[in-house]
């Protein structure tokens, strides 16, 4: 039987990425062009700059991926592209590139939800066992997703305000750390002691939703009050206290959902899955229940196109096809 080859394109935020996946799980090519340096001096992603970078990079990244795989567009079974959610101008560059390639080579086009991509990054590591639960944590997302089978996504909890990564980046900014600050806070937390009292946002007893803006404000207020009183606060201790609060709630809710939904496998996905504290705590908690936790390697946790191609492969096999009227949808529901 001929191998299935899917070309994936991702441009929802600040990475221009193209990848080729064989049979849904094997990476043939994976190219990511990051713009982080261009956004760093602004302390966050500037949408207009992101769009311009995508336009400048797209053709090169696409050609590099094909070259890496020693393949041509002709060899592909389908073209998968992130249709949303994300920055509308950024998404449009990827969607239009995918449409142009699909149209010119008469290939099927498959629109992919960005979160489905993050989840399916795990399929590049391990066979998925349903039903499963996925905790998706990134700069733009905090979602607990229940999947009873391939292609079926039920969001059982999500953030009501800031995404986890966003809270990390804002706290880091208050501590005058570079953008993105998540990795710095994580490192400081390893050294510090969680000795500063901060709130835990459990919300309603039966809710799987999250909230991180109150915690973020509490950190900012703690710093502000100490400054006014002329007291010293150890930044490592503050980072450790913040991280402890975040992890306690993330792990607590994931564990409760895992039991209620009776799943055997838990997936961790998104950029914040790089967090050492979170990985360790979740691993311990899930294993203690005799269940399996899967976490993709770092390069597949942050935005990439291999995960979009992996999700695209599943959707393609399920018969999903997008038309030439496929549009970027910044607020797309999964
Ligand atoms: O998935 P991603 O690359 O982009 C989005 O789709 O948002 O995630 C980036 C986010 C940033 O907010 C960054 O600070 C956070 O992931 N991050 C971390 C760590 N590494 C990256 N947050 C906490 N601890 C880390 N080690
Ligand atoms: Zn992402």
Strand pairing class (132-137; 265-269): parallel
| 92 and 186 belong to one structural domain | no
pTM higher than the cut 0.90: yes
Helix axes 164-174, 213-229, angle to 10 degrees: 10
pLDDT of amino acid 40: 80
Q: Are 136 and 145 in contact (CB under 8 A)?
A: yes
d(CA 42, CA 104): 38
Instruction: Say if ligand 1 is within 6 A of residue 183 CB.
Output: yes
Q: On the CB side of 74, how many CA atoms lie within 13 Å of its CA?
A: 3
* Host domain of residue 33: 5-120+301-317
Indicate which residue's Cα is closest to atom 23 of ligand 1: 182
**CB within 8 A of 2, min separation 6: which ones?**
none
pLDDT in tens, 302-323: 999 999 999 999 999 999 999 9
Does residue 38 form part of some domain? Answer: yes
Residues 109 and 179 in one domain: no
- In a shared domain, residues 291 and 306: no
Claim to verify: residue 136 and residue 280 sit in the same structural domain: yes
* Domain co-membership, 145 together with 29: no
**Residues facing 97 on adjacent strands:** none
Q: What is the pLDDT of residues 236-267, one digit of tens each?
A: 999 999 999 999 999 999 999 999 999 999 99
My answer on whether 54 and 134 are in the same domain is no
Residues 266 and 150 occupy one common structural domain: yes
Nearest-ligand number for the alpha carbon of 115: 2
**Do 114 and 163 belong together in one domain?**
no
Is 265 a domain residue? yes
Ligand 1 atom closest to residue 165's alpha carbon, by position in its atom list: 12
CB of 139 within 6 A of ligand 1: the answer is yes
Give me the number of domains the chain comprises: 2
Q: What is the rounded CA–CA span in Å between residue 96 and residue 113?
A: 16
CA-nearest of 96, 83, 123, 213 to 160 is 213
pLDDT tens by residue, 193-214: 999 999 999 999 999 999 999 9
ipTM above 0.90, yes or no: yes
Tell whether 327 is covered by a domain: no
The CATH number linked to 151 is 3.30.420.40
- What separation in Å is there between the alpha carbon of 278 and the centre of ligand 1? 12
pLDDT at 251: 98
**Residue 163 CA: which ligand 1 atom is closest?**
12
- For the chain, the residue count is 334
Q: Across-strand partners of 162? A: none
Residue 215 in domain: yes
Q: Is residue 52 part of a domain?
A: yes
Residues 58 and 150 both lie in one domain: no
User: Is 329 among the domain residues?
Assistant: no
**Helices 164-174 and 235-261 sit at what angle, rounded to 10 degrees?**
170
Q: Which atom of ligand 1 is nearest to the CA of 114?
A: 6
Does one domain contain both 313 and 290? no
Burial of 180 (0-12, 13-18, 19+ CB in 10 A): buried
Residues 309, 291 within the same domain:
no
**Same domain (yes/no): 228, 153:** yes
Please give the pLDDT value at position 185. Answer: 98
Residue 333 lies in a domain: no
DSSP letter assigned to residue 253: H
Please write the tens of the pLDDT for every residue from 56-100: 999 999 999 999 999 999 999 999 999 999 999 999 999 999 999
State CA 48 to chain mean position distance: 21
Residue 60 lies in a domain: yes
């Amino acid at each position: 039987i001929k191998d299935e080859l899917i070309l994936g394109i991702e441009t929802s935020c600040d990475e221009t990425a193209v990848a080729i996946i064989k049979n849904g799980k094997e990476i043939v090519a994976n190219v990511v062009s990051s713009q982080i340096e261009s956004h760093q001096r602004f302390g966050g992603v500037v949408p207009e700059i992101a769009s311009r970078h995508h336009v400048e990079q797209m053709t090169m990244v696409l050609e590099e991926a094909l070259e890496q795989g020693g393949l041509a567009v002709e060899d592909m079974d389908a073209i998968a592209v992130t249709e949303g959610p994300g920055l509308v101008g950024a998404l449009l560059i990827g969607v239009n590139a995918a449409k142009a390639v699909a149209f010119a080579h008469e290939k099927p086009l498959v629109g992919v939800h960005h979160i489905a991509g993050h989840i399916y990054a795990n399929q590049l590591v391990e066979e998925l066992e349903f039903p499963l639960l996925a905790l998706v944590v990134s700069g733009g997302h905090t979602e607990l997703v229940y999947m009873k089978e391939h292609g079926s996504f039920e969001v059982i909890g999500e953030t009501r305000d800031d995404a986890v990564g966003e809270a990390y980046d804002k706290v880091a900014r208050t501590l005058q750390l570079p953008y993105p600050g998540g990795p710095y806070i994580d490192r400081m937390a390893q050294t510090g002691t969680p000795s500063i009292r901060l709130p835990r946002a459990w919300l309603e007893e039966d809710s799987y939703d999250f909230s991180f803006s109150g915690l973020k404000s509490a950190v900012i207020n703690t710093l502000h009050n100490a400054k006014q009183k002329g007291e010293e606060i150890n930044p490592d201790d503050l980072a450790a206290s913040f991280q402890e609060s975040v992890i306690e709630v993330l792990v607590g809710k994931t564990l409760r959902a895992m039991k209620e939904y009776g799943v055997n496998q838990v997936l961790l996905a998104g950029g914040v899955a790089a967090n050492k504290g979170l990985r360790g705590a979740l691993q311990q908690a899930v294993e203690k229940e005799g269940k399996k936790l899967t976490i993709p390697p770092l390069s597949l946790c942050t935005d990439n196109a291999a995960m979009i191609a992996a999700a695209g492969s599943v959707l393609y096999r399920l018969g999903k096809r997008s038309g030439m009227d496929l549009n970027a949808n910044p607020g797309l529901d999964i």
